[in-house]
Homo-oligomer: A and B are copies of this chain.
Amino acid sequence: MGATKTQKYTEIQNELAGVAKALGHPARVAILQLLASKQSCICGDIVDELPLSQSTVSQHLKELKNVGLIKGNIDGPSVCYCIDLEAWNQAKAKLATLFDSYKDPSCC
């Protein structure tokens, strides 16, 4: 029960791919850059910053939320999004592990 969907790949492979996929669209990269740079976390201003419709941005936000990289706090009529530090650091660590696993070019 509750198997992780794909048993073809290791958990690490699926997790890494999941995070990477979330970063795999320039709009989502832009959103994360925005959230990372702003002192206060922004809300629907994200929509104004992106060349996309409100519903599309909302969809991208949802995807980022699904992988845990961001979270949203309801703030009056609007919603305040921000980076989830823990997930952020975990994603960072996973990617770093992959990238650090290649040392020197022993061939080619």
A92 to B20, CA, bound (A): 12
Q: Which of B73, B95, B101 contacts A33 (CB 8 A)?
A: B101
Asked if A9 and B30 make an inter-chain contact with CB atoms under 8 angstroms apart, the answer reads yes
Separation in Å of the A43 CB from the closest CB of chain B?
11
Total count of chain A residues near the partner, CB < 8 A: 48
Residues in chain A within 8 A of chain B (CB atoms): 6, 8-10, 13-14, 16-17, 20-30, 32-33, 35-37, 39-41, 51, 71, 73, 80, 82-83, 85, 88, 91-92, 95-96, 98-99, 101-102, 104-108
- Contacts A/B (CB < 8 Å), 23 sampled: A8-B26, A10-B30, A13-B33, A16-B23, A16-B26, A16-B29, A17-B29, A20-B21, A20-B23, A33-B98, A33-B101, A35-B102, A36-B102, A39-B107, A40-B106, A40-B107, A71-B108, A80-B108, A82-B108, A85-B105, A91-B99, A92-B96, A92-B99
